[in-house]
Amino acid sequence: MRAPPLTRRTALAAGLLLPGTARADGSFAAIRAAGRLRLGLLVDDTPMAFRNHGTQLDGMAVAVGAAMAFGMGVQPDFDLTTYGDQVDALREGRFDLLLTAPAMTLEAARVMMFSTPYAELDWHLLARRDLPLPGLDELGRRPLVQLRGWNSVFGNQLLGERPRHLLLRQDWRGIAEALADGEAEAAIVPATLAARITETLPAIETKSSLGRALMAITAPFGAHDLLEAVNAQLLLLRQRGVLAILHQHFLGTRLRVGGAP
């Protein structure tokens, strides 16, 4: 069954077009005039953003960013960033949007605005097959490895204030090495990377599923016109089934957030 087209009434109901509620800030008009949408991207070797065959940018965030830009009638222009400078780069205007947003915290909300979620990542706990992990308190006492950057936020939120010996690695290979060498006894990783690690290391298994984290796009604080345009494009991509197809292709799971078409 084909999804219905995006109408003005649908957009108004979704809170995407709010005529008369605020004066236009010009953030979207400036992008249309420039003919390009500058997209900040953290390439972290996950299905969200990676280099295909070592050179070409690929991943869920890349595909969504490109589709969104084309839907706005402009060209996508990807600007690679790092976890340490991505928030400052967005605030300083180096790019218009950040595709791989940091965690939605009070500090982040002071300098940026979050779109509706466009993807969700399931997180798994990995450890040796012969290692019992009875609970989070026990996990907090063992050396734990995670991906560096926004990926570490989920584990930090899960463990809370529990004391822990935390190691950070740049990619899934670094996590696999830490587990193989015994430097770490457990790992918290996205499910897609868990599959790669357990295939590489037969002695490592998935102990449990820890939950899921939602991915969103961020705009600079105050760029309401641009954020409304982003949410309108995400709604359109969701209605047409594009988000569901991309989610299944890159993440291997059904898109649940926001409802499936």
Q: Residue 175's pLDDT is what?
A: 93
Mark the ranges of the chain whose per-residue pLDDT is less than 50: 1-23, 259-261
Domains of the chain: 8-118+216-251 (3.40.190.10), 122-213 (3.40.190.10)
Q: Residue 83's pLDDT is what?
A: 72
Q: Residue 12's pLDDT is what?
A: 36
Q: Residue 149's pLDDT is what?
A: 66
Q: Residue 19's pLDDT is what?
A: 37
pLDDT tens sequence across 25-50: 778 999 999 999 999 998 877 888 88
Distance CA(206)–CA(57), nearest Å, equals 29
Q: Residue 102's pLDDT is what?
A: 66
Q: Residue 64's pLDDT is what?
A: 97
Q: Residue 9's pLDDT is what?
A: 38
Q: Residue 172's pLDDT is what?
A: 86
